Amino acid sequence: LKPRQSRLKQAAAAHLRQAQKSGGAMVRSRNLRPKPIFDEPSLLVFLERLGAKPSHMGRIWRHLLAHPECPLDEIPGIPDKIRGPLREEFAFTTSKVVETVESAIDGTIKMLIRLQDGGEVEAVLIHHAGEAEHPDARQLDRCGQRDTLCISSQVGCRLGCTFCATGTMGLQGNLWAGEIQEQLVHARALRPVSNIVFMGMGEPLENYAAVASAIRGLSDQQRFALAPSSITVSTVGIVSQMSRLMEELPKVKLAVSLHAPTQKLREQIVPIAKSFHLDRLMAVIDEYAAKNASDGKRKGMVMVSYVLLRGVNDSHECACQLRDLLIERPVIVNLIPYNPFDGNVHEYESPSAECVDAFLQVLVTSGIRVFERRHHGRDISAACGQLAKLGSSAPVKDIENCSCQLSGEKARQPSRKVSSRQPSLPQQQVMILVAMASTLVVGAALLRWSRRR
């Protein structure tokens, strides 16, 4: 118990510092009051300050998850001396869902979450129907009915990937570990969640302390009890923190946003690649594979995400270079045809279906496991590279989810949840123009009908 308490104290100290700094870049300090009750470092510091045992944390979490409406000062079995301060300094959730949109195509739900200080992030709840996308049911072993939650770790992102909408935002702040876990609380109010992917806003490994603490909370049996192997952290390649993640959280899955087969091309698409050379990134992937080679079905597999950009990285030459880079490595390549978004100064375009298939075949015929990602939630701007705050023109980071569903799966009826927003002025103008056009069409039809008579 003492080593665990020592680790928690170190985590608490790191947590208090992490809001100030991210990946060497200073960011806006985010001081929360009340604090998130699931933020373990904050709660530990609180209990120690009041002379209460850390073991009370589990009792608090278990009771609140079973009884979320219970006032914090009425939780049974905790010392009386902490009841008042606990209610004053903490809250069950410090964020709230202000709007949700459900895709009419595949049931993907996008949640706009407003933070205590007014910042906003999005989380996406992805429904997998359990059907194989290929007519011959290829990749059926990776299918199954489930709901995966894609969560954010930062407000914005500083890395500036050229295909990603968040690159224009910059980094506005780091999420606390408790705020990250609250995204699961909000999602569970809509559907059960079986998998977590850190593929929403932000680079998770640039907010390492909070992300690591959140992962421990998500897999804690006294909190959310998810299997560590059901959690995937996606990174653009912060190699020092990748090694740290493998050491401290070895059962968590790793995904790498590669997007180019050579160092030169990768620097053009992913500017941070100038700081983390492709050779070093591949060495860390090899290290991860070696450490997890005997880990059941996974066997050290790393998911490699590759956004296909027409005329940039989708050529036969690029496919061959990617094949040569990955052929001896235990990876699953996730090909993602580019999803356009407004305001992309690079004017990228999606490759043709024939080009995607040709690229895929180069990898498949070489024995590399690969699949083309389905565009979950494309109709609600929730697909890869489209994630943006609902009702806002401010772009937000890409979401990397994986699926092997049929594109034509049975559509759900769209469901609009809590929404207090009114259409913006441009939206109102469009609605007026559509109404006027409809009136003119109907009037013309009536005129033709009357003349025929």
Instruction: Give catalytic residues, as residue numbers.
Output: 122, 384
Three-state secondary structure readout of the chain: CHHHHHHHHHHHHHHHHHCCEECCEECCCCCCCCEECCCHHHHHHHHHHCCCCCCHHHHHHHHHHHCCCCCHHHCCCCCHHHHHHHHHHEECCCCEEEEEEECCCCCCEEEEEECCCCCEEEEEEEEEECCCCCCCCCCHHHCCEEEEEECCCEEEECCCCCCCHHHHCEEEEECCHHHHHHHHHHHHCCCCCCEEEECCCCCHHHHHHHHHHHHHHHHCCCCCCCCHHHEEEEECCCHHHHHHHHHHCCCCEEEEECCCCCHHHHHHHCHHHHCCCHHHHHHHHHHHHHHCCCCCCCCCCEEEEEEECCCCCCCHHHHHHHHHHHCCCCEEEEEEECCCCCCCCCCCCCCCHHHHHHHHHHHHCCCCEEEECCCCCHHHCCCCCCCECCCCCCECCCCCCCCCCCCCCCCCCCCECCCCCCCCHHHHHHHHHHHHHHHHHHHHHHHHHHHHC
Q: Looking at this protein, which amino acid is placed at residue 235?
A: T
- Rounded to 5 degrees, φ, ψ at 400 are -115, 100
Burial code of 101-111, b = ≥16 C-beta within 10 A, e = fewer? bbbebbbbbbb
Q: Which of 145, 150, 143 has the alpha carbon at shortest distance from 404?
A: 143
444 alpha-carbon distance from chain centroid: 49
CB atoms closer than 10 angstroms to residue 15? 23
